[in-house]
Structure 1
Amino acid sequence: MERWSLGAKVVALALLLSAASHGRELPVKSSDRSFIYNHTLAKTLVEYASAVYMTDLTALFTWTCSRCNDLTQVRDHQGFEMRSLIVDVENCLQAFVGVDHSLNSIIVAIRGTQENSVQNWIKDLIWKQLDLSYPNMPNAKVHSGFFSSYNNTILRLAITSAVHKARKSYGDINVIVTGHSMGGAMASFCALDLANISP
């Protein structure tokens, strides 16, 4: 096995970061499937992850909020259609499920830690690892605070229900789950959940 020098590793990392920051597509091979980084898609998902932080729920639900524009803006009946806005006041959690017609995908966005939320900060600090039992994932461990924020609140049931309803309307289209910070961790649990539930 060939070993790379520290200099070669740094150059390779710099090239990778440079290409990613300039929006070039990078093929990534994984077993029998090939994935291509799409900079526009990545920016679109960041906009969805940003929009879910909005506190004006009416503007968010009607997709007229200040963060509901640019790549996620509705144009000529193409773009984003809000299907479900999920707010768990008790646990200070928020998410939405909608359909991005230009991507032909269901979008799930989960909000991360709210700056002034004691509940969120407590969940962030409960980092004890729990065993996770998912198919084909032996010995997996997860952050207990993030896991309970997704599984022991209204988020899990509300999101899976909204995704099923959207699939009844639009068929077996792709589902893309995104989030930032704690929302990114919960998005991972959500994606696993949706992957193991038949449409």
Structure 2
Amino acid sequence: MLVLSSSLISLLVLNEAKPYRSDGSGSYSPSRALLFAHFSNAAYCSAANISYWDCAPCRAADKDFVVSKVVSGGGMQGFVGQAPGNDIVVSFRGSDNIRNWIDNIDITKTDAYPKCDGCRVHTGFYKAWNSVKDDVVKEVQRLHEANSSANIFVTGHSLGAAVAALCAVELGASSQSLGFPIAGVYTYGEPRVGNDQFAKFYMTGTQVSWRVTHWRDIVPHLPPEAFGFHHTATEVWYTEDQKNYTVCDGSGEDPTCADQLFEAVSIDDHLQYMGIAIAEC
């Protein structure tokens, strides 16, 4: 495990400008995580503001980013677009009423996941992904065909984080994917998406995947392990003040990270990530 001080985090942020691409080391970058947290937050803005890239979270992410497609369906919203260097970002929002969604989440229903034997995923998350899948895949294909050197990043918060994980598996972060170059998956407050077999299948991909959690955030504890769910790796667990973090082990369920705080959880921590007030456009 690795714990960094707030001063070192600040230094890294200052030294990295628009850090889309990894440095090749596979190390966790707090500045890159901050960048994609802004992209995740932008997905909560209105479709019109996202289309014109005219919102505070949009400008905080990258004022020069160009959205090519806003997707929606079944209560889900997201967008696909390109950074100035032509790298592609796919972002998904959480529920438009996060507190109600947490209160009403069904923790038992699962569907068989067709890409791997024995894999099951949460019914609601899978339905949300399928409601926008065709539009997302077509747009990513179109953009990547125009620039085959473009890397792809997938991000999301809350329900959007679960959809981001399913999107990454579909596009390229697995052995049975469409084969797109997924350079990074950054999620924030991600719930457990599927069972242990799904988590293992997800981790057959070569992408860099960081599942960021904030202290006592309730959502990473849902649905419970007791119902057969298992997190994907790798978790990065931030302290309550968000000044320090731990890069957790590769199990997805490191007992020394967020998993240890199951008895005392918080919705407020779910609405604060990387120092950002989430879902406040």
Equivalent residue runs for 1:23-172 within 5 Å: 23=9, 34-55=25-46, 57-74=47-64, 80-88=65-73, 91-102=74-85, 104-115=86-97, 124-125=105-106, 127-134=108-115, 137-151=116-130, 153=131, 155-172=132-149
2:205 alignment partner in structure 1: none
2: CA distance between counterparts of 1:114 and 1:21? 35
Is 1:113–1:121's contact at 8 Å kept on the other side of the alignment?
A: no
Is 2:36–2:61's contact at 8 Å kept on the other side of the alignment?
A: no
Is 1:150–1:186's contact at 8 Å kept on the other side of the alignment?
A: yes
1:18 equivalent in alignment to 2:4: yes
SS of equivalent to 1:187: helix
Partner letter of residue 18 of structure 1? L
Across the aligned residues of Structure 1 and Structure 2, the Cα RMSD in angstroms comes to 2.7
Is 1:59–1:65's contact at 8 Å kept on the other side of the alignment?
A: yes
Partner letter of residue 67 of structure 1? P
Is 1:126–1:144's contact at 8 Å kept on the other side of the alignment?
A: no
Structure 1: gaps spanning 5 or more residues: 1-11, 26-32, 75-79
Task: Report how far residue 117 of structure 1 moved.
Answer: 9.7
Greater Cα radius of gyration, structure 1 or 2: 1
Q: What per-residue deviation string (whole Å, max 9, x for no partner) do you get for residues 55-77 of structure 1?
A: 2x322211121211134122xxx
SS of equivalent to 1:69: helix
SS of equivalent to 1:67: helix
SS of equivalent to 1:50: helix
2: CA distance between counterparts of 1:142 and 1:43? 28
Partner letter of residue 56 of structure 2? S
Task: Report how far residue 189 of structure 1 moved.
Answer: 0.5
Partner letter of residue 106 of structure 1? I
Partner letter of residue 132 of structure 1? Y
Q: What per-residue deviation string (whole Å, max 9, x for no partner) do you get for residues 158-189 of structure 1?
A: 00011011112222421111000010001001
1: CA distance between counterparts of 2:95 and 2:154? 17
Q: Between Structure 1 and Structure 2, how many residues are aligned? A: 164
Partner letter of residue 49 of structure 2? A
